Chains A and B, each alone.
Chain A
Amino acid sequence: MNKNKEQLLNKRYKAEQRFRLYGQSAIFMALLFLTIFIFKIFSTGYSAFQKTWLIVPVNFDAELMMLDENPTKQDIEDADYYEIALQSMWNLDPNANEDQQNQLKRMVSYFFEREIKQELLKDPNLLGKTKEVYLTASDDLDQVFKGNYPRDLPEDQRRVSDYQLKIFDQLVANGNVESKFNISFFTNADSREAELAGIASSFMGSIFSILVCLMIAFPVAVLAAIYLEEFAPKNRFTDFIEVNINNLAAVPSIVFGLLGLGVLLAIFQLPRSTPLVGGITLSLMTLPTIIIAARASLKAVPPSIREAALAMGASRMQTTMHHTVPLSMPGTLSGTIIGLAQALGETAPLILIGMVAFVNTIPGSPMDPAASLPVQIYIWAESAERGFVEKVSACIMVLLGFLIIMNLFAQIIRHKFEKKWS
């Protein structure tokens, strides 16, 4: 009998330990996913912040550029750079046949003549002389240099030919290939060529959308929260509004995209693909989040504050506007920032209102067509070219960076400025 009891007890203790272990492993799994995730993004993305340059001697031959002696600045601006650009690439291998010459040309970005032009514009004295110029390597060579491209594949499965690799290896051996910080990733707009594609247009698109979203959602949400928390009578209509808000907070984001498409674009005829429409759509989405946060922080202001103000003869409106609302602001603001962070990461509704259009200009106002950072991630992730993979990860890193900063900011506001009532 006694033995039996002990066995039972042991069994129960073992069950206890097992249960505990399940819990620990669940937490461990969740954290493991997070780690793998972050690691994967960083390990594929960090190399996008470097860019490979080929250093190629360029002969600024006035004759080939159709320039006279002593050209004016305008002449230099209008000159023909394609010929000298081609020549300088062909000079890498003087014995190249026509096909090989073509391959040589494709070793740099199609942008290369403009890079040569910039060089001459910077220093017009170079005319007639030879100088080593930094040219952006094609994205395939860029990937080869970073070691992301399998060189041992059979040649017909590679986008880089054996010939190009040979020339490239020669350049590397001579120290004519250099890797530098990739500024153009932050200053260029999107491009079909991976080596030139940057996040500037989608970044501005995101900023404009978020600003529009903030300008609409914040005032409306705060006013609505004040009404519901401080003035609304307890009746069916108020309940109905409340049900609406709670339900909207859980409606899938793509439905808001359909709303933007069906109402803002089709009925109000607002311009497609613009941060204006994107911002309005996002603001409808963040509205419930901000209302809920603002109401919670209004509720947290103790009634004694209101009673004191009322006792001093303030009206309900004065009590609310002068005392309750200012005291609730830290909580409201941090809720707003968290809502905006959600909006910043939102993709699906923006796709539906056309913000996936290919935009190779940097938008200057909310009325210009633009993409946004998450949409840019989607666009690049759908591209087949290998060079875009690291760009996607790098773009994700930028986006996550912004989200972290916003969330930290929200935390700081909450902890620094919120009054603790107890």
Chain B
Amino acid sequence: MNLILFTFIVLLGFTSYYFGRKKAYTIQSTKKRLTALPQFYGYYLAIWCAIPAFIIFSLWAIFEPTIVKLLVLSDYSNQGYLDDELNLIYEKTKALSRGQFTGEITPFIEASAEKYLSLRSIAQSSKVVIVLSAIIASVAYAYKRISSNSRTREPVEKFLKAVLFTASLAAILTTVGIVFSLIFQTIDFFKVIPLFDFVFGTHWYPAKAFVRDSSEALDPSMYSDTFGAVPIFAGTFFIAFIAMCVAIPIGLMSGIYLAEYASYKVRQYAKPLIEILAGIPTVVYGFFAALTVGPFLKELGTSMGLEVSAESALAAGGVMGIMIIPFISSLSDDVITSVPQSLRDGSYAMGATKSETIKRVIFPAALPGIVGSILLGVSRAIGETMIVVMASGLAANLTLNPLESTSTITAQIVVILIGDQAFGDPKTQAAFALGMSLFLVTLCLNIVALRVVKKYREKYE
């Protein structure tokens, strides 16, 4: 039904376009001067035809279920049911009206099912009537405007501009959505777990929170020593640190080499090849780390008499470092190439060798940009999920030994939220609190990095 109505509105929109354009030609044939190109008359009519109808249509789709539910349940309002019970009754009613109800049918539910069905059909037919009358009214209005040959281009363009503006709000809406989805769960979480315990506690053992009878009331003292995030934060920064130890030297040196030394041919081939590393999905890196690098390091360690965990932080961090090489190399390459040639020429003229020029002149000049690119790399390492989930441990150890296993913020979020989640459970809320801290940390890093890079760009432009 909805689909038919939808198609109908679209078809009417197209028809009104042709109708409006035809009207413009008739006006033209009476030797009157048109106020805009004929198609604008068409657009004008089509917009007036379709947009009010769509607005009513979607508002209806949003509010109809709630209103029907309220009306059906109004019969039960003063019988002292709880909200959950009312919801159950409503679900039963809907199932019965679809003929899918298998339980015991009480006369009450049968009556509500009948009421539900009649309300639905009233709603359907009144929707069609209202939408159609809206179309007729607005098309009539628009047609009158067209016939009197008033302006059509300006309103159409204003409308288009409004659409463009709305689209550009999408980015803000997404940010709002992120904050919105994180903040409520996080606040609920900190109602149960004190912020202090979360930020300074050293025991992270969320599985403990799962062993709880749901009928019991929440007892905050149960969770002391369960949600201490220090090991998680430490693990995250530790693995990111290992990753940067791999990525910074290799990325930076290859960026410098590509920008300053490489011949055109080498650059032409090496640059895209290195950038392939950035295009490989992270789950593939995770598989590689878990199945090849982890066991390899373990064997290597055993042969040297060291005890290495198969899920060592070194394996996860190392592979993550490989993943970040291309970000640092291509960003620093860009930054170095944008250092003005005059600085190089000046240095060469003083008799400096190429490497001296790079180390003493170009590198200091490019430093802000390079720092920016490194910060972006760190933000990526902290937010990286699949490599850690697959290759690093899931138990949160507080350790600084790269050969042991540690866990990260992202890995814990996945571990907690994989499978079914119960909203309202401190364990689920903990994942959102971790997500919030991740979002805040990366947000700060990104803003600083973007600022630094932007400042640097302005300096040499």
- Chain A interface (Cβ within 8 Å of chain B)? 12-13, 15-16, 18-20, 22-27, 29-31, 33-34, 37, 40-41, 219-221, 223-224, 226-228, 231-232, 240-241, 243-248, 250-259, 261-263, 266, 284, 287-288, 291, 315-317, 321, 341, 344-348, 351-352, 356, 374-375, 377-378, 381-382, 389, 392-393, 396, 399-400, 403, 407
**Do B284 and A400 touch (CB < 8 A)?**
yes
Q: Which of B336-367 contact A (CB under 8 A)?
A: 353-356, 358-359
**Do A381 and B353 touch (CB < 8 A)?**
no
Chain B, residues 245-288, CB within 8 Å of chain A (1/0): the string is 00001111110111001100000001001101101111110111
User: Does B376 reach chain A (CB closer than 8 Å)?
Assistant: yes
With A33-B322, A261-B421, A345-B283 known as contacts, the answer to whether A240 contacts B172 (CB < 8 A) is: yes
A389's closest neighbor in chain B, by CB?
B291
CB distance from A34 to the nearest CB of B (A): 6
CB distance from A54 to the nearest CB of B (A): 29
Which chain A residues lie closer than 8 Å to B257 at the CB level? 20, 23-24, 26-27
Which chain B residues lie closer than 8 Å to A262 at the CB level? 180-182, 184-185, 432
B383's closest neighbor in chain A, by CB?
A252
**Do B283 and A244 touch (CB < 8 A)?**
no
**Do B287 and A396 touch (CB < 8 A)?**
yes
**The 8 residue pairs across chains A and B that have the minimum distance between CB atoms:** A252-B383, A23-B257, A262-B181, A345-B281, A223-B167, A26-B253, A19-B355, A227-B164
- Chain B interface (Cβ within 8 Å of chain A)? 153, 157, 160-161, 163-165, 167-172, 174-175, 177-178, 180-182, 184-185, 249-254, 256-258, 261-262, 270, 273-274, 276-277, 279-284, 286-288, 290-292, 322, 325-326, 329, 353-356, 358-359, 376, 379-380, 382-386, 389-390, 410, 413-414, 417-419, 421, 423, 431-432, 435, 438-439, 442-443, 446-447, 449-450
B266's closest neighbor in chain A, by CB?
A27
**Do B168 and A228 touch (CB < 8 A)?**
yes
CB distance from A281 to the nearest CB of B (A): 11
With A23-B257, A26-B250, A381-B287 known as contacts, the answer to whether A352 contacts B383 (CB < 8 A) is: no
Query: In whole angstroms, what is the CA distance A399 to B288 when docked?
Result: 15
Query: In whole angstroms, what is the CA distance A352 to B382 when docked?
Result: 18
CB distance from B336 to the nearest CB of A (A): 12
CB distance from B312 to the nearest CB of A (A): 18
CB distance from B245 to the nearest CB of A (A): 13
Which chain B residues lie closer than 8 Å to A33 at the CB level? 277, 322, 325
Which chain B residues lie closer than 8 Å to A227 at the CB level? 161, 164-165, 167-168
Prevailing SS type, chain B contact patch: helix
Query: In whole angstroms, what is the CA distance A232 to B165 when docked?
Result: 8
Which chain B residues lie closer than 8 Å to A288 at the CB level? 171
Which chain A residues lie closer than 8 Å to B380 at the CB level? 250, 252
Which chain A residues lie closer than 8 Å to B277 at the CB level? 30, 33-34
Query: In whole angstroms, what is the CA distance A34 to B279 when docked?
Result: 11
A-B contact pairs, 29 of them (CB 8 A): A16-B353, A18-B355, A26-B252, A26-B254, A26-B257, A29-B250, A30-B326, A31-B270, A31-B274, A33-B277, A231-B165, A248-B175, A250-B446, A252-B379, A252-B385, A253-B385, A254-B438, A258-B431, A262-B181, A284-B174, A316-B157, A317-B161, A345-B279, A345-B281, A374-B281, A374-B284, A381-B390, A389-B291, A403-B280
B277's closest neighbor in chain A, by CB?
A34
A374's closest neighbor in chain B, by CB?
B283
B446's closest neighbor in chain A, by CB?
A250
Which chain A residues lie closer than 8 Å to B442 at the CB level? 250-252, 255
Which chain A residues lie closer than 8 Å to B353 at the CB level? 12-13, 15-16
